[in-house]
Amino acid sequence: MPDDKEGDYCTVCGGMVPKGSDVVIILVDGREVGINQLAFIIKEVAGLGPMSETKVKEALLTRVKALNYVPTKKEAAYADAVYTAYLGYMEKGE
């Protein structure tokens, strides 16, 4: 049995590092962070219909946390950053 593990692992959470086009890089508190499945998450939340900014941020963050590690102390920063990406998506009208 080989000692090395297959694949790359996150140095923060220990999970597999996602590869490919499913990861979108955004700025969270001025640092680049890769968010797995961000395009899917944004489309899903956009499809929920009109909501307040607070509700959109909650919906986005809930979905981001289900697929990505989000430090508890940085939840608000992640919510703001993902919301900014969401607004960009909505402006494009995709």
Sign of the C-alpha dihedral computed for residues 89, 90, 91 and 94 taken in this order: positive
Among 36, 50, 15, residue whose Cα is nearest residue 82? 36
Nearest Cα residue to 78 out of 67, 65, 66? 65
Query: What pLDDT is attached to residue 40?
Result: 95
pLDDT digit string, tens, across residues 56-92: 999 999 999 999 999 999 999 999 999 999 999 998 8
Tens of pLDDT, residues 19-54: 556 899 999 999 999 999 999 999 999 999 999 999
Rounded to the nearest angstrom, the gap between the alpha carbon of residue 41 and the centroid of all alpha carbons in its chain is: 8
Pairing of strands 23-28, 31-36: antiparallel
Domain ranges in the chain? 23-92
